[in-house]
């Protein structure tokens, strides 16, 4: 009989620099208003985004200077390594484990690149064994908090007794572009922040929650909805205006299909735990999943305090949901480049 996979720990971490939304709006006006005639029509997004502040890899003054690919990736390597170590150590402490007890580490990030990967660079510092299995994953974007969690849980399920560390981190602000006079760039400037989360999974008993199922849905012909364009300066945001209406129309059937493969239906879910991509996306998800308006209250509070941190954000929501007390069955949901919907179902443990 296959043992259930348990979530043993979950922690979150953010970089030290804090940017209030009012300061982000003022800086953006100073940097763009005189060069981009559409800016005045876009400026209300800072007020309407539902974000009060966000954490950033660098202080606000750094973003007022031009930076190329090398600058950005050096900043990514430094800050991502710091967040990885901080989150991993705290997740291990919470699980009452040591680094040499980790059999596999799954790392997801889509906002920077290092080779060797972060897990290899930090293996000695953290104390991983030489035979640890490393699974670095790039390109899943906002969906990776759920899809990466699903990958980690499947690895734990397939190897009874194995301990899997899952780390998700994003430094979205490092993609800020002074040279991109576009609507997507302004929206990204108003929405995105930086953060990380880590958790430990293992088959067995106890823990914070039982991981019941995991699945994904890839929508055909949707490559232009979300992603990066990459040039000499760095990453540039690709973000279709159609995302909220697309989510409202397509998310429900996709989640129904994922749940059905696990022998579940939507009515079996007591609480959806969603990635808050933005206020309009949160409202679209409520509509798509037939929830009453303002049901996703934790999602809105996380968005207000941290902005959209891409993949880790849904785990910030899960952390708060666990502290409130999970219902009998919950489903984590996120959407990301591909275009993809990811879903993991969780059961409450005694």
pLDDT single digits (tens) 138-148: 999 999 999 99
Tell me the mean pLDDT in the region 56-76. 93
Contact partners, residue 33, CB within 8 Å, separation at least 6: 39, 40, 43
The whole domain housing 10 covers 5-203
Q: Is the pLDDT of residue 243 over 90?
A: no
Q: What is the C-alpha separation between 208 and 210, in angstroms, rounded?
A: 7
pLDDT band at 79 (very low <50, low <70, confident <90, very high): very high
Q: Is the pLDDT of residue 238 over 70?
A: yes
> Are residue 51 and residue 197 in the same domain, yes or no?
yes
> Are residue 77 and residue 112 in the same domain, yes or no?
yes
Q: What is the C-alpha separation between 57 and 60, in angstroms, rounded?
A: 9
Q: Is the pLDDT of residue 240 over 80?
A: no
Catalytic annotation, residues: 142
* Domain end marker among 203, 236, 259: 203
> Are residue 197 and residue 240 in the same domain, yes or no?
no
Instruction: Give percent above pLDDT 90 in the chain.
Output: 77
Say if CB 62 and CB 164 are below 8 A apart. Answer: no
pLDDT band at 233 (very low <50, low <70, confident <90, very high): confident
pLDDT of residue 179: 87
Closest CA to 168 of 127, 226, 210, 111: 111
What pTM value is reported for the model? 0.94
pLDDT of residue 2: 61
> Are residue 130 and residue 274 in the same domain, yes or no?
no
Say if CB 185 and CB 208 are below 8 A apart. Answer: no
DSSP β-ladder status, 104-108 and 133-137? parallel
173: its two tokens: 């602000």
pLDDT band at 125 (very low <50, low <70, confident <90, very high): very high
Provide the CATH number for the domain around residue 151.
Answer: 3.40.47.10
Q: Is the pLDDT of residue 183 over 90?
A: no
């Amino acid at each position: 009989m296959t043992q259930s996979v348990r979530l043993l720990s979950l922690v979150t971490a953010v970089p030290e620099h804090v940017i209030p939304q009012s300061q982000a709006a003022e800086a953006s006006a100073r940097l763009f208003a005189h060069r981009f005639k559409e800016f005045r029509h876009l400026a209300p997004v800072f007020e309407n985004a539902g974000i009060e502040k966000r954490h950033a890899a660098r202080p606000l003054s750094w973003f007022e200077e031009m930076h190329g690919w090398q600058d950005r990736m050096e900043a990514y390597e430094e800050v991502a390594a710091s967040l990885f170590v901080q989150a991993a150590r705290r997740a291990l402490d919470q699980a009452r484990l040591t680094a040499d007890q980790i059999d596999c580490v799954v790392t997801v990030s889509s906002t920077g690149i290092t080779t060797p990967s972060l897990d290899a660079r930090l293996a000695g510092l953290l104390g991983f064994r030489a035979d640890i299995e490393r699974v670095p994953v790039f390109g899943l974007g906002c969906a990776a908090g759920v899809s990466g969690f699903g990958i980690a849980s499947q690895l734990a399920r397939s190897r009874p007794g194995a301990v899997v560390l899952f780390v998700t981190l994003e430094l979205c602000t490092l993609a800020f572009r002074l040279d991109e006079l576009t609507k997507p760039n302004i929206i990204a400037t108003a929405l995105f922040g930086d953060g990380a989360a880590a958790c430990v999974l293992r088959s067995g008993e106890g823990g914070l929650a039982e991981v019941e199922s995991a699945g994904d849905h890839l929508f055909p012909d949707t490559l232009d909805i979300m992603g990066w364009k990459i040039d000499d300066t760095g990453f540039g945001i690709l973000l279709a205006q159609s995302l909220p209406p697309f989510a409202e129309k397509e998310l429900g059937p996709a989640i129904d299909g994922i749940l059905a493969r696990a022998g579940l239906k939507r009515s079996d879910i007591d609480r959806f735990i969603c990635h808050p991509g933005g206020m309009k996306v949160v409202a679209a998800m409520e509509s798509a999943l037939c929830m009453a308006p303002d049901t996703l209250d934790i999602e809105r509070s996380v968005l207000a305090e941290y902005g959209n941190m891409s993949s880790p954000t849904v785990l910030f929501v899960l952390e708060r949901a666990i502290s409130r007390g999970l219902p009998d069955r919950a489903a984590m949901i996120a959407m990301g480049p591909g275009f993809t919907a990811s879903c993991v179902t969780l059961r409450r443990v005694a």
